[in-house]
A = this chain, B = another copy of it.
């Protein structure tokens, strides 16, 4: 036994010394059963230390003793949180928390607040779906591309066919972001386990056709994630979308019919969902526009974007089962969305509208996913 402890000790010391973290550590984030969260960071020489929680909070921390800064927060909503520290203006991660996520180019620490054990974004001990990173052929784009697939619990062992939900990311995102910040696997696992959502396949493609995959999987070398794509909302992704649908229908036990297909996306992905479903009115019974980047200035860029109003009238004549829109009251796209709704209203096209607090952010999009998926395929 002695040698075991020596081995553990050596491994720990090697790791800590490689990190320059020999100093006794603090506990952070410290989460109590009632959902109180205390953040602590060691910054002996600092003048100011701030805590930034995604777009929700930016606050000063208080010095405690010689080295440690801390702050305690109460009453946070159950959800996934992303945060970092600013030590005299320099971004510093929480070394006590190994869990991080990336938002476009910014890496932050993360934790999930689930004091009552009922947050749909949290990991629960329920049957889990399978997550696959696959490469599909796109004949339209002439390349192979990466996408993520969620298969519901039991898919492997059943012979059942399943409905398919296509879920699209926003500008700056990639095929991984709905699983990472979006918590799609956790949300679907939890809602399916509670009987609140139907078992479904969720397909998360990469909407940036300049890239074959997320930047850390790129054959171009050390490229960074970016908002700035050459092909950006120019119709090319929408035009190649049937390649994805064909590949999915050929490779999975799907129900390849309109009433068993949904499409939704956030921001740019909402824009993609709007135009893909309007151009393919025979394909999607369920459409979800989450804070969609609606823009009526794109006529002429691609035939995909021409005559939207007429296309929507045709689409709605075929009665989608659900046309769902959600946006935050502080979203910078609020006005564009209001104008779009006015146009739908003028044409008496019936949609479901959900207005939430906050702005253009993941807290909303996770909520929208929870709300939207419960209405699918019923």
Which A residues have a C-beta under 8 Å from some C-beta of B?
A: 1-4, 7-8, 10-12, 14-15, 18-21, 29, 31, 42-43, 45, 50, 52, 54-55, 84, 86-93, 95-100, 102-107, 111-112, 114, 122-125, 127-128, 130-135, 144, 146, 156, 171-172, 212-213, 215-219, 221-222, 224-225, 227-228, 232-233, 251, 293, 295, 297-298, 332, 360
Sorted nearest first, the 5 A-B pairs with minimum C-beta distance are A125-B219, A98-B105, A128-B135, A131-B133, A132-B132
Shortest A67–chain B CB gap in Å is 11
Task: Let me know if A45 and B88 touch, CB within 8 A.
Answer: yes
Task: Let me know if A215 and B4 touch, CB within 8 A.
Answer: no
Supplied contacts A7-B295, A12-B227, A123-B221, 20 more A-B pairs, CB within 8 Å: A4-B233, A8-B232, A11-B172, A14-B55, A14-B360, A15-B103, A15-B104, A19-B52, A20-B86, A31-B222, A90-B92, A91-B95, A92-B92, A93-B93, A100-B102, A111-B222, A122-B221, A123-B217, A128-B144, A132-B133
Task: Let me know if A95 and B106 touch, CB within 8 A.
Answer: yes
Shortest A1–chain B CB gap in Å is 7
Most central of A18, A95, A156, A297 by chain B CB within 10 Å: A18
Q: Please, which residues of chain B bring their CB within 8 A of the CB of A3?
A: 295, 297
Task: Let me know if B88 and A90 touch, CB within 8 A.
Answer: no
Q: List 25 A-B contacts (CB under 8 A).
A: A1-B297, A8-B171, A11-B360, A12-B227, A14-B55, A15-B103, A18-B54, A19-B84, A19-B91, A20-B52, A20-B89, A20-B91, A42-B90, A91-B92, A91-B93, A98-B106, A99-B216, A99-B222, A100-B100, A111-B222, A114-B221, A123-B218, A128-B135, A131-B133, A132-B133
Given A90-B87, A92-B90: A18 touches B55 (CB 8 Å cut-off): yes
Q: Please, which residues of chain B bring their CB within 8 A of the CB of A219?
A: 123-125
Task: Let me know if A18 and B52 touch, CB within 8 A.
Answer: yes
Cα of A20 to Cα of B92 in the assembled complex, Å:
11
Shortest A85–chain B CB gap in Å is 10
Q: Which residue of B lies closest to A213 (CB)?
A: B123
Shortest A45–chain B CB gap in Å is 6
Cα of A261 to Cα of B42 in the assembled complex, Å:
49
Q: Please, which residues of chain B bring their CB within 8 A of the CB of A87?
A: 90
Q: Select one of B43, B54, B130 contacting A133, CB under 8 A.
A: B130
